[in-house]
């Protein structure tokens, strides 16, 4: 699932593509993918102007005229594809095979196969048609992703579900330590990945932050010293900003809206490096399961 840097990359690039465009019509192929799950969704979105695209946690927010919003979560396999009026397109999110003309790097480690499915494809759930002839496709293989049309009240309710934004002005050490101490018996990685506590940090960057702070991801939050908490506090925004600078981490699950891969992968210190030499000591990177997630760490560097 794309994390904060990947979603921010998609948001920044999508904003350039669709801002100030007006939605002419909407076609929904799977009403399970939208809220409300009926034709009212289509009627509500039609005719509205896109005022901008933003992010909250791992959620994409399309700000519409009339104080309405489209909230989009890509989940495990969601993807947004923008095509201009000539049909030339770019995509961002999870790589789903695209037809010729759609610039995208698609990773298939097993076979290297790329199928020409056309657009709309069997994975297309929603199409937004703009008045200038361009389109925005929402594709999703497993149908866990969703798009919600909400008013101002629901928008505030939805965004309030998420915790402290690591790149916001509210991310102070005072606020950070209060959140860390809220669940002293939880393992620190679990605390970092709890979206109601910290918005946007996922598996990759939780591993990286713990390594940078030299903290074992299995340590109970309440057992960390103030010095260790401060090191973690400094590490999180630094790593996230670096990832945004390099347009996110691309493996086989994420590409930018430009169709290109993010280049953060080569800057990761532990994630995805199981069995490889540690970049901080002569030891090797280990991997274990923590709360069902693959967790990477160095047993020598981290305590």
Give domain status of residue 76, yes or no: yes
CA–CA separation, 4 vs 199, rounded Å? 8
Give domain status of residue 131, yes or no: yes
Give domain status of residue 165, yes or no: no
Q: Are residues 199 and 254 in the same domain?
A: yes
Give domain status of residue 168, yes or no: no
Give domain status of residue 200, yes or no: yes
3-state class (DSSP) for residue 34: strand
Q: Which domain holds residue 209?
A: 173-297
- What is the count of structural domains for the chain? 2
Q: Are residues 142 and 190 in the same domain?
A: no
The per-residue pLDDT of the chain, averaged, comes to 88
Contact in structure between 192 and 206 (CB atoms under 8 Å):
yes
Q: Are residues 78 and 113 in the same domain?
A: yes
pLDDT at 125 over 90: yes
Contact in structure between 255 and 108 (CB atoms under 8 Å):
no
pLDDT of 162-191, one tens digit each?
Answer: 999 999 999 999 999 999 999 999 999 999
Among 86-100, 126-140, 188-202, 203-217, the range scoring the smallest mean pLDDT is 86-100
pLDDT at 244 over 50: yes
Kindly list the distances between the CA atom of residue 37 and the CA atoms of 137, 147, 232, 292, in Å, as whole numbers in the listed order: 18, 10, 42, 31
Mean pLDDT, residues 238-243 taken together:
95
Q: Are residues 40 and 152 in the same domain?
A: yes
Q: How many CA atoms does the CB half-sphere of 251 hold within 13 Å?
A: 10
Pairing, β 135-140 against β 146-151 = unpaired
> What's the CATH code of the domain at 49?
3.20.190.10
Q: Are residues 155 and 13 in the same domain?
A: yes
3-state class (DSSP) for residue 82: strand
Q: Output the pLDDT for position 2.
A: 83
CA–CA separation, 198 vs 268, rounded Å? 21
Q: How many CB atoms lie within 10 A of CB 90?
A: 22
Contact in structure between 98 and 91 (CB atoms under 8 Å):
yes
In this prediction the pTM is: 0.85
pLDDT category of residue 94 using cuts at 50, 70 and 90: low
Give domain status of residue 166, yes or no: no
pLDDT at 40 over 50: yes
Q: Are residues 58 and 99 in the same domain?
A: yes
Q: Are residues 231 and 150 in the same domain?
A: no
Give domain status of residue 72, yes or no: yes
Q: Output the pLDDT for position 84.
A: 87
Choose one of 97, 130, 159: the last residue of a domain: 159
Q: Are residues 68 and 119 in the same domain?
A: yes
Choose one of 128, 159, 190: the last residue of a domain: 159
End-to-end CA distance of the chain: 28
Residue positions annotated with a catalytic role: 2-3, 58, 293
The residues with which 294 forms a beta bridge, in sequence order, are: 289
């Amino acid at each position: 699932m794309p994390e904060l840097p990947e979603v921010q990359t998609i948001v920044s690039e999508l904003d350039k593509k669709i801002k100030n465009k007006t939605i002419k019509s909407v076609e929904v192929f799977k009403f399970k993918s939208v809220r409300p799950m009926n034709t009212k969704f289509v009627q509500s979105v039609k005719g509205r102007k896109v005022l901008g695209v933003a992010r909250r946690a791992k959620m994409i927010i399309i700000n519409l005229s009339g104080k309405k919003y489209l909230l989009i979560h890509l989940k495990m396999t969601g993807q947004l594809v923008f095509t201009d009026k000539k049909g030339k397109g770019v995509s961002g999110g999870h790589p789903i095979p695209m037809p010729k003309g759609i610039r995208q790097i698609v990773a298939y480690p097993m076979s290297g196969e790329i199928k020409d499915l056309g657009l709309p494809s069997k994975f297309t759930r929603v199409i937004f048609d703009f008045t200038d002839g361009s389109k925005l496709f929402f594709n999703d293989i497993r149908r866990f992703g969703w798009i919600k049309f909400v008013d101002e009240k629901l928008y505030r309710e939805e965004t309030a579900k998420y915790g402290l934004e690591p790149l916001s002005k509210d991310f102070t050490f005072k606020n950070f330590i209060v959140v860390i101490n809220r669940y002293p018996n939880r393992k620190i990685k679990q605390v970092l990945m709890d979206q109601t506590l910290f918005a946007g940090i996922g598996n990759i960057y939780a591993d990286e932050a713990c390594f940078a702070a030299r903290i074992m991801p299995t340590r109970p939050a309440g057992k960390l010293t103030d010095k260790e908490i401060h090191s973690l506090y400094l590490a999180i925004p630094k790593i996230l900003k670096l990832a945004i600078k390099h347009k996110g981490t691309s493996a086989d699950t994420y590409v930018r809206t430009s169709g290109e891969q993010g280049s953060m992968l080569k800057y990761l210190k532990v994630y995805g490096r199981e069995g490889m030499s540690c970049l901080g000591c002569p030891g090797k990177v280990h991997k274990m399961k923590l709360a069902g997630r693959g967790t990477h760490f160095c047993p020598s560097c981290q305590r």
